[in-house]
Amino acid sequence: MPITPATATQTSSNGTADAILLELVDENGVTIGTAEKLAAHQPPGQLHRAFSVFLFDERGRLLLQQRALGKYHSPGVWSNTCCGHPYPGEAPFAAAARRTFEELGVSPSLLAEAGTVRYNHPDPKSGLVEQEYNHLFVGLVQSPLRPDAEEVGDTAFVTPAELAERHAGGTFSSWFMTVLDAARPAVRELTGPSAGW
């Protein structure tokens, strides 16, 4: 599977580099056009399709990802297992599986849809804005991680109590709690009551 970093450009058939395009949507998630990735995140932001993945181990611990310091948006912060944007016309499920493999070197097991959430989160450090119609997915990770250092600074599996402690003392992405809270019903169904989510 080819690696396609989120900040990379696509090369067209004539050898020129094309900008990464995102799918613009209306408030109901219906596609209305495309925009260049960075332009879509410039204030006030353009509403676009995104995805967020939450993977858990056999003990019901959530896999967190610390975003690499070299990322142009929200570098160095902790966030959910994987997040990103489908290419125009790419199914969110396929994009979620693709990016999880590209960033973490694992293919999720039992990956399932967990609803959608729409939000508007400015990032105070970068000045960029997350205006997203976000498709949520939950699943299991059952093989060793092989993170791409250009995408991932660190990883950690956490219980709900460990997450609360980290969240109180560390820096997390502006969207993290919004997407986690929206995904909680599916997370509880996947992990069971004993995991405490």
Active site residues: 83, 132
Read off φ and ψ for residue 94, nearest 5 degrees.
-65, -40
d(CA 89, CA 176): 25
Encoding tokens for residue 131? 């205006």
User: Within 137-175, where are the H helices?
Assistant: 160-169
Cross-strand bridge partners of residue 65 = 79, 155
Encoding tokens for residue 145? 């991680």
Sign of CA dihedral 181, 77, 158, 93: positive
